[in-house]
Amino acid sequence: MSDLLTLAGVHTHIGRYHILQGVDLTAREGRTTMLLGRNGAGKTTTLRTIMGLWPASSGTITLAGTRIEALATPDIATRGIGYVPETMAVFSDLTVKENLILAARTGPLDDAQLAWIFQFFPALKKFWLSSAGTLSGGQKQMLSIARAIVEPRKLLLIDEPTKGLAPAIVGALIDCLAEIKRRGATILLVEQNFRVAEAIGDDVAVMDNGRIMYTGDMPTLAANTALQEHFLGLSLEAHQ
């Protein structure tokens, strides 16, 4: 299985703060890589750096064999990366339909893809012509994810999709992410909820202080309480 995304020695400065301090990370094609770590470890900065929203000060980022660290954000996005930020990033003044049309860059909305999205997120169909600003938090998150998967992408970057959501909605999100994964998508997912991480993660990378401290496969980390306590400061068992 080839590496779709590779970060090598990536440093990112935001103002005078040195946030990423040499990140080495790989996302393998067709697999879901979980990026875990404490708050402030640099997970969100890593995703934003990949998207070019906070440009890397040094290091290389390679997507499918092409260097992208010097590209502008729109160029990175059009190379096939879908990005779901952590802040339920919908366009509130536009309708659900308009939000999805905006995300479908290659042409009109695909009916089959829409029907598939509605299976997981029926609320989006119900509020199709409503302003996205009137949706609940969970519905906004659904729309945010739907926007990233409304057309095929090489890679999905998803930042804490379950943050602040009710358990029932988290369940729907897990089903959806599992189905996206089953369809062969490559996902780099930042997640604090270990139940979600364990349910859908194939590979895992743990960050701390702007560096990757551990990489391996998810089942190994999930089965090893000592590793979890060492790298994350808590165990999945305790968390669950």
Partner 1 sequence: MMILSGDPPRSRVLSALLIVIVALLALAPFLFPGAKPLNVATKICVFAALVASYDLLLGYTGTVSFAHTMFYGIGSYGIAIALYTLGPTWTAVGAGLACGLPLAVLLALAIGLFSLRVQAIFFAMITLAVASAFLVLASQLSGLTGGEDGRSFQLPELLRPGTVFAKGVFGITVSGRTLTYYIVFVGAAAMILALLRVVNSPFGRVLQAIRENRFRAEALGYRTVFHLTLANCIAALVAAFAGALNALWLRYAGPDTSLAFSIMLDILLMVVIGGMGTIYGAIIGAVIFILAQNYLQALMGLASSAAADAGLPLLPGLLHPDRWLLWLGLLFIASVYFFPTGVVGRLRGAARQ
Give the residues lining the site for partner 1 (CB under 8 A): 51, 53, 72-74, 77-78, 83, 85, 89, 91-94, 98, 101-103, 105, 147
Residue 160: CB partners within 8 Å, gap ≥ 6? 44, 86, 190, 191, 192
What minimum distance in Å lies between the beta carbon of 25 and partner 1?
19
* Chain centroid, CA 102 distance in Å: 19
What minimum distance in Å lies between the beta carbon of 201 and partner 1?
23
Which C-beta is closer to partner 1: that of 58 or that of 78? 78
Which C-beta is closer to partner 1: that of 102 or that of 238? 102
By the 8 A CB rule, do 177 and 34 touch? no
What minimum distance in Å lies between the beta carbon of 114 and partner 1?
17
By the 8 A CB rule, do 24 and 7 touch? yes
Which C-beta is closer to partner 1: that of 147 or that of 181? 147
Neighbours of 145 (CB within 10 A): 23
What minimum distance in Å lies between the beta carbon of 238 and partner 1?
35
92 Rama sector, left if φ>0, alpha if ψ -120 to 50, beta otherwise: alpha
What minimum distance in Å lies between the beta carbon of 105 and partner 1?
5
What minimum distance in Å lies between the beta carbon of 117 and partner 1?
16
Which C-beta is closer to partner 1: that of 78 or that of 209? 78
Rounded to whole angstroms, how far apart are CA atoms 90 and 32?
A: 24
Which C-beta is closer to partner 1: that of 85 or that of 138? 85
Which C-beta is closer to partner 1: that of 105 or that of 126? 105
What are the two backbone dihedrals, phi and then psi, of residue 137, each rounded to the nearest 5 degrees? -60, -45
